[in-house]
Structure 1
């Protein structure tokens, strides 16, 4: 069975040209000698440890797995070399066994012969999931999931990615994630499945910090960060340490990684909210640069769009058409082409950007086109979309605040002596403190207090309603990155409670 591997050409791309010119794949690690005698991964690890005595055991372990992949890849396997400073990848087929070329310069001595089949595959022609797995920080990793080997073969033949529409089975536990990364170099899964490895279902600030620390403690990193995509968006997990001494100046320790990856609880919680956190429109209607302007106008009218991204054959953004740019072209009596009405500098954003930093741009310009690092169009976020999403996120807090205000007003007449004996609520009232939402069930379940309230409702039912709303409030208080409207039961319970309270609590007349 043919497999596919990524073999990078150096931190600065220094090995790429020689690899293409000589028909080879080249690994780094200039300090380690001939690996031909390494019959096991353990033996290879021993040789690495001798060559790099100052490196941490975790770093050496990471390197030995990469070099073991390199020397054991089978003839006929496919090799992918992403170009460092070009939007291209080269794809070839492995034709020879491992060789050690001692006469070459350090960092260029570990080689495998390759027949390069296609050296200028545009990165934009490759599906985002496959591009992400190719973009791991490792020198050598396997492209093993989502039909990767077949897709690489088609790319080598046609220059186009057939894509993958199926699902992806997540690892069963954090230890399985570690093993997958160790064996292949990377592991893709959804953000939902990633946090689910530790039993979480939603991305609160607490969960984000916890998962970050767990990943760093296991020597793992995730790209893009799992807060930068929607819950069902894909992320790629790889080893934390960069690989090879030609690739980095110094390996990153786990303690350093923890400082880099974890968030201080006192920092702005808005940093967890990213463009990618919002469910922006991904099925974007676009138009080609060479198409007639009438086609763009027709699509804008049909879809009631204010703008259309203009793209090339690989969905790379080339500009935008708006009603304003169309009017300017027609008033200027320019030709009726998209090129004549094109705004070549549209306002764009990437999923990892902080949402609140870009709100002003959305307000001013009406939209942001969401692109990836290769300027491929992923979606569009309009002011209307943003308004709707912010409403969904703000509404629960408004409703909760209103319900708590009315509960407070309905119970403010109780003195400390009238509240349940020995309770927290009596102690709080005696100190002149206001009751919290979590304390109202204590008041309502007390028979004497309930009788004094005289509400025309069932006591147990109201106590249960307030408890449900209290739990809902507690969940939201942890700054859930994911939309609160997904907690439909809690939101509905809050609305129902508020409606009941409004019937017995009337705002004073002006």
Structure 2
């Protein structure tokens, strides 16, 4: 196993601390900035000092869809007579050199796909899972919760120490006090990550709030001419995005992963009987069933229509005979949703896959309709609240409407209730004279409180947000309750 960094001459095990090694690397690479040198320092320190004989090592193999897994046999060696780039080595016994990358669960594969040449896999039972992959070629996976760092500074420390840190998008933005991915939140977190010399992939806006993201240092690649280290990491990783450009990090597009897609996908294989597929579809009220291989890579889909065609054609009673599409519509979570709407309209579904074409979810037309309702309903409810309020205060004169403004310039712009914003009504109602004239059969303080809460909700919705407001959210329910009260004092002639 070879680390590279050909300009780094001499036995690096002679350095007694990270600081000493960093100072030495600064001399070997005088043109590089502090963050780059610091990242390289931690990588070489892991290679020389942290790795121990007996540890497992994972190497994504370049230009192949497999990884190699080995066990370290000896200590770090410096081979001064070897060609440049081949001098920093560790001896390894390779246990399995062709483990399919698709066999590795997405969370572990993302950790392996770090931008770093040398990083450490520690969380989510990584050691036990890699051991199992070496033995059987399959990953038992891990479904537990990942405890996030205590704060942003701890995140930086952990990335420096291990090379990567995984956490959910929710926990990531929570380190900076955000709970939803608004435009302000995205800008704030992007700026903070960049200032800390960190990059996150996939970007924390690409999936849903509970999707895993992997944080790595920026500027982590070896020098361009730097030897033959395990640069195959480049192939397994998803594309890194700089927050300096006009890339998807600043693109507020609605993405497939932003939707609450079904992730516990029932599937079938080509060698199964058609009867088993029919049973799954009837039991779960499915219109389609993905067909996958041994590693859950997508190889087709079966639908009720394709089953009917197979039966009418008197073909064999197998999934292969009833396969509707060998290349069904599929997409990655980070793809733009509206660019794939036609596929959903045409087929009624879109199968979500990862970088290895492994099925991770499915989005149906029914799911999309439900999500659009969740997005649109708050606006329709709030629009009706405002419409009802305008009619309900129509008994008040223009002077009484203007009286709720302390600013005389703003007051002069009011000519009817149509000129009021939702935020103005709490001030209009919170007056004994005007309240008496309206003669609403409610408690005035309670109505003022409800109007304030709903106006705040309206202001939140006025700003772009990756995350759809939940249909059963407390704020939406408050708006619905206010609307119900307003329907009593405003009788719509059309109802």
Taking structure 2 as the reference length, the TM-score comes to 0.91
| Greater mean alpha carbon deviation, residues 303-312 or residues 38-47 | 38-47
The answer to whether the 8 A contact 2:402-2:411 is kept is no
1:323 is displaced (CA, Å) by: 1.6
Which residue is equivalent to 1:357? 339
Give the 3 Å change call, closer, same or farther, for CA 64–487 of structure 1 in structure 2: farther
Kindly indicate whether the alpha-carbon contact (under 8 Å) linking 1:28 and 1:108 is maintained by their aligned counterparts in 2.
yes
Structure 1 Cα separation of the partners of residues 243 and 283 of structure 2: 50
SS in 2 for 1:442: helix
- Tell me: CA distance 1:111–1:283, structure 2 relative to 1, closer, same or farther (3 Å): same
The partner residue of 1:167 within 135, 141, 145 is 145
Distance 1:192 1:235 in 2: 10
1:278 aligns with 2:259: yes
Q: Is the 8 A contact 1:416 1:426 kept in 2?
A: no
Cα distance, 1:421–1:509 mapped onto 2, change above 3 Å: closer
Which one of the candidate residues 226, 233, 244 is aligned to 1:258? 244
Q: 1:100 & 1:298 partners in 2: Cα distance? A: 62
- CA-to-partner distance for each residue in 1:337-357, whole Å, 9 max, x for gaps? 211222211000111112222
Q: Which residue of structure 1 lines up, in the alignment, with residue 84 of structure 2?
A: 106
5+ residue gaps, structure 1: 1-24, 249-254
TM-align CA RMSD: 2.3
2:317 alignment counterpart: 336
Q: 1:96·1:112 contact (CA, 8 Å) conserved in 2? A: yes
The whole-number CA distance in structure 2 between the counterparts of 1:307 and 1:256 is 39
Q: CA deviation at 1:330?
A: 3.1
Pair 1:317–1:97, CA change in 2 (3 A):
same
| Cα shift at 1:40 | 2.1
Using the TM superposition, give the Cα deviation of residue 463 of structure 1 relative to its aligned residue in structure 2, in angstroms: 0.8
- Is 1:497 matched with 2:474? no
- The answer to whether the Cα contact below 8 Å between 1:216 and 1:261 also exists between their aligned partners in 2 is no
1:32 aligns with 2:18: no
Equivalents in 2 of 1:483, 1:154: separation in Å?
Answer: 39
1:464 aligns with 2:464: no
Question: Secondary structure in 1 aligned to 2:67?
Answer: strand
Match of 1:44 in 2: 21
Q: In structure 2, which of residues 420, 431, 444 is the aligned counterpart of residue 446 of structure 1?
A: 431
Q: Aligned to 2:300, what secondary structure does the other structure show?
A: strand
Tell me, what secondary structure is at the counterpart of 1:287? Answer: coil
Per-residue CA deviations over 1:461-486 (Å, capped at 9, x if unaligned) read 11111111111112222333223126
Distance apart, 1:336 and its partner CA: 2.1
Find the counterpart in structure 1 of residue 235 from structure 2. none
Name the CA shift for 1:336/1:77 in 2 (closer, same or farther; >3 Å). Answer: same
Equivalence for 1:20 = none
- Structure 2: any 5+ residue segments left out of the alignment? 227-240
Question: Quick one: which of 369, 380, 385 aligns to 1:398?
Answer: 380
Alignment-derived partner of residue 206 in structure 2: 228
Change (3 A) 1:452 1:65: same
Cα distance in 2 between the residues matched to 1:289 and 1:95:
42
- Asked whether the equivalents of residues 100 and 111 of structure 1 are also in contact (C-alpha less than 8 Å), the reply is yes
Q: Say if 2:32 is the partner of 1:55.
A: yes
Aligned partners of 1:420 and 1:446 also within 8 Å: no
CA distance in 1, matches of 2:321, 2:248: 49
CA distance, structure 2, for counterparts of residue 65 and residue 508 of structure 1: 73
Deviates more, 1:454-463 or 1:489-498: 454-463
2:116 to 116, 135, 138: 138
Q: Deviations over 1:447-466 (max 9, x none)?
A: 22212222222211111111
The 1-side partners of 2:74 and 2:359 are apart by 39
Tell me which residue corresponds to 1:152. 130
